[in-house]
Amino acid sequence: MSLIKLLSNYMPGLKEMIVDAFGLRINGTDLTATMAEINAVCDNNTATAAEISLVCDNNTTSAAVINKIAARNTVTLLDGETGKTACVTNGVSAITGGSGIEGMTLAAPTVGDQATIRIDALPSGTVVVTCAGDVTVDGTNNKMTFDAAGEAIVLAYKSPTEWQVVLNIGGVALSQTEG
């Protein structure tokens, strides 16, 4: 995995990314590792504290943070059957909808989460994903309705009770549940 791939995984959660004459800086942290050191960490999809200290000057990034970023590339297959209705909050939920699914859920985000929900197959009907409790998407809506294969939505942590839409592919409908 290249540095560009690593940074593209970071982008939705970053408030600042600066590349200038002083080098690469992410959220105020200078990255001074060699390309070989960064690629070694990325290729393993896991990192130790020692590996991370090679990447960050101030050693404030933990292995848990790096592993959370790597988990964004993990795909979970869901089909609405028992035990397969909860979309992952950090990673890709690939849903096969059959003739539609109404009971899919998405839990509250935690710092650094990026959830991608994608419909792989949907011969008929719709797939409805409802956020848990008082969790919303973009502050108002708590329901996402997919009506075609290939539709996807990419969400990122905004607050403990809010997902921010980063990308909506194919027109996923956002709405509020009744009640």
What CATH number did the domain enclosing 137 receive? 2.60.120
Name the strand (E) or helix (H) holding 50. helix 49-55
pLDDT at 157: 94
Residues 24 and 98 occupy one common structural domain: no
Q: How many domains does the chain have?
A: 2
Residues 83 and 151 occupy one common structural domain: yes
What is the SS3 assignment for 83? coil
Residues 59 and 127 occupy one common structural domain: no
For residue 11, with 0-12 CB atoms within 10 Å meaning exposed, 13-18 middle and 19 or more buried, which class applies? exposed
Task: Give me the DSSP letters along 90-146.
Answer: SEEEEEE-TT-EEEEEE----TT-EEEEEEEE-SSS-EEEEE-TT-EETTTB-EEEE
pLDDT at 100: 86
Residues 104 and 165 occupy one common structural domain: yes
User: What's the domain range around 159?
Assistant: 74-175
For residue 89, with 0-12 CB atoms within 10 Å meaning exposed, 13-18 middle and 19 or more buried, which class applies? buried
Last residue of a domain, one of 37, 55, 70: 70
Instruction: Render pLDDT for 65-81 as a digit per residue (tens, 0 to 9).
Output: 666 666 666 888 999 88
Instruction: Render pLDDT for 126-179 as a digit per residue (tens, 0 to 9).
Output: 999 999 999 999 999 999 999 999 999 999 999 999 999 999 999 999 999 875
Last residue of a domain, one of 20, 48, 70: 70
pTM: 0.64
Residues 106 and 148 occupy one common structural domain: yes
Residues 50 and 122 occupy one common structural domain: no
Last residue of a domain, one of 32, 47, 70: 70
